[in-house]
């Protein structure tokens, strides 16, 4: 399916193509009130927020964007994760929000988007009012083999090119569908709206996007982790109120306390487990929305 044929899941939201140092970043915005940015995770696009963004837009000026390399945003050339370091991706988010008139904003990130959100909170502390991190844990924490399948996939994607790219290209849709299924509590695609799945599949089924995803994980295994370790040693902290949410059947829940892990990085942290797998906003939208609205 062509990208132009995909369903619009954000009725009434404006569309934006915003120039950044990397190229054009795609975003949508809607609602009125304090600014709120939502960042998606691996295998998905801004569409992952479609079940909760319209409700949040009743109270907030909501912005959803595609991270570089994902969805409709630019996929810059890269090797060894250079163009996909979370510092650069966080700078994209700041540029998008500035272009839309928001100097300060609340931020919610899931999975890879949470990695970007964490880096943004450390690099640009004056930008944020609040921070919510969904189903993720700090890179420097020893979460071991709590979820062998997910840890194995991350290790696979971070391998030097072109091995993972070549293997994924044999069956991109199969790889993506299996990654999504394995993260859910039900181990099925039932939680995903068929229209959202069409977005994810269309965005992933292209060589430059597959390469971008691998580069994202290469950055995570190298540059991002090194920077996090350096910041931890320097005592750098998240300075804004922080909410950690995780699925009871998600990856962080199988290891040490996610809340305890984030308390090593922030002084004002609260959190809760949700009856869900990894994809909180799609598997358990009502519970996720309630937690976010209460916090924000």
DSSP 118-171: HHHHHH-GGGEEEEEEES---TTS--TTTTHHHHHHHHHHTSPTTHHHHHHHTS
User: What does the pLDDT read at residue 146?
Assistant: 46
Closest CA to 251 of 157, 102, 136, 169: 136
Mean pLDDT of 230-242: 97
Residue 108: partners with Cβ closer than 8 Å, 6 or more residues away: 36, 37, 38, 39, 117, 131, 132, 134, 292
User: What does the pLDDT read at residue 3?
Assistant: 64
Mean pLDDT of 13-42: 97
User: What does the pLDDT read at residue 53?
Assistant: 98
User: What does the pLDDT read at residue 153?
Assistant: 82
Mean pLDDT, the chain, whole residue set: 94
Mean pLDDT of 117-137: 97
Report whether pLDDT(251) > 90.
Answer: no
User: What does the pLDDT read at residue 151?
Assistant: 63
User: What does the pLDDT read at residue 2?
Assistant: 62
Both tokens of 35, joined, read 């600014």
Q: What is the pTM of this model?
A: 0.96
User: What does the pLDDT read at residue 145?
Assistant: 42
Higher-pLDDT residue of 186, 252:
186
Q: Which domains does the chain have, with CATH numbers?
A: 12-295 (3.40.50.1820)
* Structure letter (DSSP) for residue 49: G
Active-site option among 111, 135, 147, 177: 111
124 is catalytic: no
Mean pLDDT of 89-115: 98
61 with 25: CB under 8 angstroms? no
Report whether pLDDT(31) > 60.
Answer: yes
111 is catalytic: yes
Report whether pLDDT(148) > 50.
Answer: no
278 with 111: CB under 8 angstroms? yes
Report whether pLDDT(225) > 90.
Answer: yes
Active-site option among 40, 50, 211, 278: 278
Report whether pLDDT(8) > 70.
Answer: yes
Q: What is the DSSP string of 61-130?
A: EEEEEPPTTSTTS-----STTGGG-HHHHHHHHHHHHHHTT-SSEEEEEETHHHHHHHHHHHH-GGGEEE
Report whether pLDDT(231) > 80.
Answer: yes
Q: How confident is the model at residue 5 (pLDDT cuts 50, 70, 90)?
A: confident
Ramachandran class of 135: left when φ > 0, alpha when ψ lies in -120 to 50, beta otherwise: left
88 with 22: CB under 8 angstroms? yes
């Amino acid at each position: 399916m062509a990208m132009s044929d995909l369903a619009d899941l954000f009725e009434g939201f404006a569309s934006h193509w915003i120039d950044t140092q990397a190229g054009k970043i795609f975003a949508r915005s809607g609602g009125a009130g304090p600014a709120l940015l939502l960042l998606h995770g691996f295998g998905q696009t801004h569409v992952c927020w479609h079940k909760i963004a319209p409700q949040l837009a009743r109270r907030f000026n909501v912005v959803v964007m595609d991270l570089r390399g994902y969805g409709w945003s630019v996929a810059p050339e890269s090797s060894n994760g250079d163009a996909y370091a979370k510092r650069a991706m966080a700078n994209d988010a700041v540029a998008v929000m500035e272009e839309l008139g928001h100097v300060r904003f609340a931020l919610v990130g899931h999975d890879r988007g949470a990695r970007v959100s964490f880096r943004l909170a450390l690099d640009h502390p004056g930008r944020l009012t609040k921070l919510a991190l969904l189903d993720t844990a700090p890179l420097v924490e020893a979460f071991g083999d709590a979820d062998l399948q997910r840890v194995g996939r991350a290790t696979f994607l971070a391998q030097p090119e072109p091995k993972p790219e070549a293997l994924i290209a044999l069956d991109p849709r199969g790889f993506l569908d299996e990654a999504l299924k394995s993260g859910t509590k039900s181990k099925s695609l039932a939680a995903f709206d068929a229209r959202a799945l069409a977005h994810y599949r269309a965005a992933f089924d292209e060589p430059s996007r597959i390469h971008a995803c691998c580069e994202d994980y290469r950055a995570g295994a190298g540059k991002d982790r090194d920077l996090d370790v350096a910041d931890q040693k320097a005592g750098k902290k998240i300075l804004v109120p922080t909410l950690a949410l995780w699925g009871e059947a998600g990856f962080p829940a199988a290891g040490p306390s996610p809340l305890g892990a984030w308390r090593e990085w922030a002084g004002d942290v609260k959190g809760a487990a949700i009856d869900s797998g990894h994809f909180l906003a799609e598997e358990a939208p009502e519970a996720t929305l309630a937690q976010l609205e209460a916090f924000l």
